[in-house]
A and B are shown apart, each in its own frame.
Chain A
Amino acid sequence: MNALLKSVTDWSREMLRAWDRFWFTPALPHTLALVRICGGAMLLYTHAVWSLNLNAFLGRNSWLNTKTAALLNQDASGRDYAWSYLYYINSPALLWAFHIAALVVFAMLTLGLFTRVTSVLAWAITIAYCNRLTGTLFGLDQMNAFIATYLMVGDSGGVWSLDQWIATRKLGTGILPVLAPQAGPSLRTNIAVRLLQIHMCVIYLFGGIAKMRGDTWWDGSALWYAFAQLEYQSIDMTWMVHYRWVLALLTHVTVFWETFYCFLVWPKLTRPFCLAMAVAVHLGIAIFLGMKTFGLAMIIGNLAFVYPETVRDVVGWIFRPFARASVEKVASAPQKRQSLAVAATR
C-alpha cells in the first residue's frame, strides 16, 4: 500500500513539475514577435479590404443590417454575447473615422509601436468587426481573432518593434515606462505562445474529427471535390482526375495529419514533419483553393511551434546583410564626426 501511495505521490509531483515547466518557464519574445508582425499585417490587410465596400458591409443599408447581425448572433433562447461598437455607428463619416483609426491601430501593432496598448485595441477591434459582420466570415476571421487575443497576452513587442527601437535609443524613457514590452524572456510571452499552440491543436483535432465523419475523406475523393469547386478554385487542378490514387493518398494523409497533429506536433522528433505538412497543406489551400489569406493565417498560427531561438537565428540570418550595413553605418558615424571636428579646428 505504501509503495502504491509513493508511486502516486511521485507521479503527482512529476505532473506538477511538468505543468510548472510547461506554463511557467519564461520564453524569449522572438516567436511571438514574428506572429505579431505577420498576424498584425494580416489583420491590417483583412480590415483594409473592408474599406473597398465599407458602407455596403457596415453602413446603415448594409447587406446584413445591424438588426439582422444581432439576430444572427442570438441563439434560440435569445442569448447573445457578441458585442460590437459597430452596432451603434450610423453616420458614414463616423464609420470611416473609426475604420481608419482601426487600420492605424493594426499598422501600429504590426510595427510594434506601443504594443501593450495597441495589442489590446487590436483585439477589441477585431472582435467587434467579427461580431458585427456575422454572415460574411470564414476561417480567416477565426484565426485573426484568436491570434489577436493571444498577442494581447504576451510581450509581442519585445523584439523587432518600434517599442524596442525607442527603448534602445532612450527616446521614450520616462514617458510611459510601464508600457515598454519586456525584451528578455517573459512569463506572459510563454503563456501566450502556449495558448496559441493549444488552440492550434484544438482547431486541427476537431477539423480532423469532422472530416472523419465524411464519406469522401474515407473513399479518397475529398480532395477531388475540393478541387472541383469552381467557386473556390484559383488554379485549375481538375487534370488530377487522371491521377486518382494521388488524390486519394493526399486525402488520407491530410485527414490523418490533421487529426493527429495535436499529438505529433509536441515531440521534437515529429514536430518538423508535422509543421512541414502544415505549410504544404496551407500553401495548397492558398494557391489552389483561392484562400491565400486563410492559408497564410494558418501558417502564422503554426509559427507558435517554432522555438524562439530558431526564429531569432533564422530571422537574424535572413536580415544579416541589413544588420551588417546598419552596424557599419553606426561604426562609421563617430569617425565621420571626428573627421568633421578635425576639419572644423583647422
Chain B
Amino acid sequence: MAKFNAPADGKDVAQAGLPTWAKALISTLLLLHVAAILSTPFAFACNRGASPVAEAIRDFFLPYTGAFYFAHGYAFFAPDPGPNHLVDYQVEFSDGRPPIKGRFPDLATERPRLLYHRYFMLSEALNNRFAPPQFAPEPSPPALTASAGERERFAVTKQRYEQDKSRWQHARRQYEAMRNSIEDHLKSEYGGDSVKIVRIEHVPGDPDAVQYERTPLNAAESYREMPETMPRGTSR
C-alpha cells in the first residue's frame, strides 16, 4: 500500500495491492462495460440489428448504454459521405401580413459554427426520421391448396410484417412529432398562424461536373425537395 501511494515516478510502482476478490469483481465489471460499449456499434454494423445475436446483445445492455449515452453506431461519414439535408419553412399570418420564409441551417445567421451545426443536425435528424405515411400492404395469404410448410412460412412472414409495421408506426410517430414540434416552435417564434416546412436534399457536387463544367457546389439543380410520400431510402 505504501508503494501504491508512492510519489510520482510511475516506473517502479508495484501493482495495486487489492485482494483477489476485489480484482475479480472489478474485472467482471470492466468486462461487462467493454461488452456494453461494443454492443450498440456491433448491432449497428450488423444491418442495424438485423442479426438476432447482435440484437439480443444490444437489448441486454440497452438500459446501461441508454442511461450512459453510449448507444451509438459511430458511423461517421459512412457508409458514404452522402447528401445533406436542409429545412425550408414558411410562416403564414391570417391578418394579411406577408409570410416569413427561411431555411436552416444558415451559416449567415447561426454563429458560432457549433450553433450552426446544431441547426444542421436538427434538419438532418428530421430527414433521418422520415417514415412515409403509408406502410407496405399486408402479405397475401397462401392459396387454399398450400402445403403445411407454405402455411408455416406464411405465418412467420406475417409475424415479421407485423413487427416491421410496429417499427414503422413508431418511426412515423417520431417523425410527425418532430415535424409538429418544429412547426409549433416557428409559430411561437414569429407569432404566425400556420407553418409549412419542406425538407430539402442537397447533393454534393459530382467531381467531373465540378472539374470540367465548373459546376458550383450550390448549383440550383443540386437542391431538391423531398416529397412527404416517397418511401424512405428511394431518393438516394
Query: Are the C-beta atoms of B178 and A241 separated by less than 8 Å?
Result: no
A81 beta carbon closer than 8 Å to chain B: yes
Query: Are the C-beta atoms of A230 and B218 separated by less than 8 Å?
Result: yes
Query: Are the C-beta atoms of B81 and A216 separated by less than 8 Å?
Result: yes
Residue of A with least CB distance to B211: A241
Known: A52-B115, A80-B66, A195-B33. A71 touches B185 (CB 8 A): no
B52 beta carbon closer than 8 Å to chain A: no
8 smallest beta-carbon distances between A and B, as pairs: A81-B66, A214-B79, A210-B78, A210-B75, A206-B41, A214-B80, A228-B204, A225-B81
Known: A56-B189, A72-B129. 14 other contacts (CB 8 A): A26-B15, A62-B185, A64-B181, A68-B178, A71-B173, A74-B170, A126-B69, A135-B122, A140-B117, A142-B74, A202-B41, A226-B81, A228-B207, A229-B202
Complex: A126 Cα to B70 Cα, angstroms: 12
Cβ 8 A contact of A291, one of B74, B117, B169? B117
B232 beta carbon closer than 8 Å to chain A: no
B167 beta carbon closer than 8 Å to chain A: yes
B108 beta carbon closer than 8 Å to chain A: no
Binds B, one of A97-105, A111-119, A178-186: A178-186
Q: Mark A334-346, 1 if CB is under 8 A from B, else 0.
A: 0000000000000
B57 beta carbon closer than 8 Å to chain A: no
A232 beta carbon closer than 8 Å to chain B: yes
**Set of chain A residues within 8 Å of B37, measured between Cβ atoms:** 198-199, 202
**Set of chain A residues within 8 Å of B188, measured between Cβ atoms:** 61
**Set of chain A residues within 8 Å of B174, measured between Cβ atoms:** 71-72, 74
**Subset of 23 A-B contacts with CB under 8 Å:** A20-B23, A24-B18, A46-B114, A49-B112, A49-B115, A62-B181, A63-B185, A72-B174, A80-B66, A81-B62, A82-B67, A83-B67, A127-B68, A140-B114, A142-B69, A185-B6, A206-B45, A206-B74, A213-B79, A222-B77, A230-B217, A231-B120, A293-B114
Known: A138-B121, A207-B76. A184 touches B7 (CB 8 A): yes
Known: A27-B10, A138-B121. A187 touches B114 (CB 8 A): no
Complex: A222 Cα to B207 Cα, angstroms: 11
User: Restricting to B54-90, which residues have a CB under 8 Å from any CB of A?
Assistant: 62-70, 72-82, 84, 86
B42 beta carbon closer than 8 Å to chain A: yes
Q: Mark A227-256, 1 if CB is under 8 A from B, else 0.
A: 011111110001001101000000000000
Chain A interface, >50% SS class: helix
B13 beta carbon closer than 8 Å to chain A: yes
Q: Mark B183-195, 1 if CB is under 8 A from A, else 0.
A: 0110011000000
Complex: A159 Cα to B67 Cα, angstroms: 30
Query: Are the C-beta atoms of A214 and B4 separated by less than 8 Å?
Result: no
A76 beta carbon closer than 8 Å to chain B: yes
Known: A76-B170, A214-B78. A231 touches B86 (CB 8 A): yes
The number of chain B residues touching the other chain, given as a range, is 35 or more
Number of interface residues, chain A, beta carbon within 8 A? 98
Complex: A24 Cα to B125 Cα, angstroms: 42
Rounded to whole Å, the gap between the CB of B21 and the closest CB of chain A is 13
Query: Are the C-beta atoms of A185 and B62 separated by less than 8 Å?
Result: no
Query: Are the C-beta atoms of B68 and A19 separated by less than 8 Å?
Result: no
Complex: A53 Cα to B202 Cα, angstroms: 26
**Set of chain B residues within 8 Å of A19, measured between Cβ atoms:** 27
User: Restricting to B194-235, which residues have a CB under 8 Å from any CB of A?
Assistant: 202, 204-205, 207, 210-211, 217-218
Query: Are the C-beta atoms of B122 and A210 separated by less than 8 Å?
Result: no
Most chain B CB atoms below 10 A, which of A81, A149, A199 = A81
B32 beta carbon closer than 8 Å to chain A: no
Query: Are the C-beta atoms of B18 and A68 separated by less than 8 Å?
Result: no
**Set of chain A residues within 8 Å of B160, measured between Cβ atoms:** none
B166 beta carbon closer than 8 Å to chain A: yes
